[in-house]
Structure 1
């Protein structure tokens, strides 16, 4: 029953996941804020403490199991080192695996949360054992995991899956890495909130002007559902960016299915049919009748589950 962690741009969760059977069981996750500004070492200390608490709560020694970690990327699947970290500023060059192994004294295996998500989908999602599967997580940032012909696509530097940096709408916003018009800069939770705040500088009208504190993506979604014109325009941009990105992925990979997950996808549930219609309109003719795009049934737990699957696979390799 491996230990698993999920490091996002907003929060970190730790849990234990039983992946021995055709179904999984997940302990109630321990959650705390990521707060990247406090520094990598401080975050790793709290993550290690959370894993220790989890082991005590479940009366299972940490030394008995591998640890799998899913993280917002880009991050190396080989040693858990951040290449650059637009949503975890200041963490570039640090290795999650190395840091946790030094603190805990057990093997730690780290990969991009998109890659972990696609592992979870391939085992426990609606499309198990699918040979060509893409999982896209849309949250604080946007990333993907890709299985092609039954194999995880890692890339030369294990950097495959950074679909958030595909250019989809030039001039409509940029990500924290400065990519103008990229998918993450248009359709992520960060982008939705940022775009709304920028538009609000030119008007004091609308529901969002009464929001206490900085406007969040959740605020924008709520205002759009209530009919606020500014919020609706931001959501329409996000949908258009996603449709552009998804139609591109369909053209490039010809997958059996693309599965979408993450907090933003949950928030955009009201516009799900519109997203599919926009994507189908932009996609190649072969997708005009059947569009292979669906929402995850694993909720926000896909990266955690995938991290546990990944850790179990590594244990099997080294015990063989």
Structure 2
């Protein structure tokens, strides 16, 4: 069976078809942003989904969509990052009404992947972190992600930060860009510009990056105190790459006694995309 997976993120939208040989036809497009609104009306996400389904030569019975929002039982219940229009489960109702559409929060999709084929496999209790444009986390117990009563058991980024209202505003990719721009007076669009500047010795960028990594490490230490997981897994674009913020996080983690292993998601930044496909019925070999 071939299914389509789609990962709708704050920086990029990624999709692919998944069949017996794994993912094929992977397409990545930047998430449009106009006047602070990301993908207004869901035009880019809808267009990519329509393209992937339409180009499938053997038909697609099911689609899985991972989105960087709160999701409860397949219904998106927030509009904090993506300015979506119409529930994602209905995006194909006009053109492909027979296709079943499964929708889940991107961080839980990432955890699903690591449970199925990666760092959370055979772990009794694990904690998966999606660190990218945004910041969220997911508890996995007994081989399944925990959604919570309202589907909101992912709000790692809502914890307090040393400065600003939340940890997400301080340590996420978007937070890094905002903090650097405010302190340096130089506007930047993405975290990778800040991290590149930090790697080149920019003192403001270095302070912004290292303070973000240390703040995330401290928040995760509290997660460990509360939940006592066997392992903590870093996913997302920032969580699976090497840069000064990640180095500061790992250094702070190593300095604390009796912490569980801090691992990198084995599926890399595509963990949520793969998890969306698994959620729709694809089974990796």
Taking structure 1 as the reference length, what is the TM-score of the superposition? 0.79
Q: How does 1:163-312 map to 2 (within 5 A)?
A: 163-169=156-162, 172-173=163-164, 180=165, 182-201=166-185, 214-270=188-244, 272-281=246-255, 285-287=257-259, 291-312=260-281
- The residue number in structure 1 matching 2:41 is 40
Q: Residue 142 of structure 1 corresponds to which residue in structure 2?
A: 135
Q: Is the 8 A contact 1:101 1:108 kept in 2?
A: no
Q: Is 1:112 matched up with 2:86? A: no
Match in the other structure for 1:206: none
Matches of 2:142 and 2:46 in 1, distance apart?
A: 39
Q: Paired residue for 1:204? A: none
Structure 1 residue 33 displacement after superposition: 2.7
Distance 2:106 2:168 in 1: 15
Alignment match, 2:75: 80
2:28 is aligned, of 27, 31, 41, to: 31
1:61 — aligned with what?
59
Shift of 1:277: 2.9
Query: Do residues 101 (structure 1) and 93 (structure 2) align?
Result: yes
Write 1 or 2 for the structure with the bigger share of helix.
1
Higher strand share: 2
Largest Rg, 1 or 2: 1
Query: Hey, what's the Cα distance between the residues in 2 that align with 1:143 and 1:193?
Result: 18
Alpha-carbon shift at residue 189 of structure 1 (Å): 0.7
Deviations 1:213-243 (A, max 9, x none): 7353111111111111111110122112211
- TM-score, normalised to structure 2, is 0.88
- Distance, in Å, in 2 between the alignment partners of 1:54 and 1:307 is 19
How far apart, CA to CA, are the structure 2 residues paired with 1:151 and 1:27? 26
Residue 146 of structure 2 is matched in structure 1 by 153
Aligned residue pairs: how many? 277
RMSD: 2.4
CA displacement at 1:10 relative to structure 2: 1.9
Q: Which runs of 5+ in 1 are unaligned?
A: 174-179, 202-208, 315-320
Give the drift of 1:150. Answer: 3.3
SS in 2 for 1:130: coil
Aligned mates of 2:119, 2:208 — CA distance in 1:
31
Q: Tell which deviates more after alignment, 116-125 or 25-34.
A: 25-34
Unpaired segments ≥5 residues, structure 2 = none
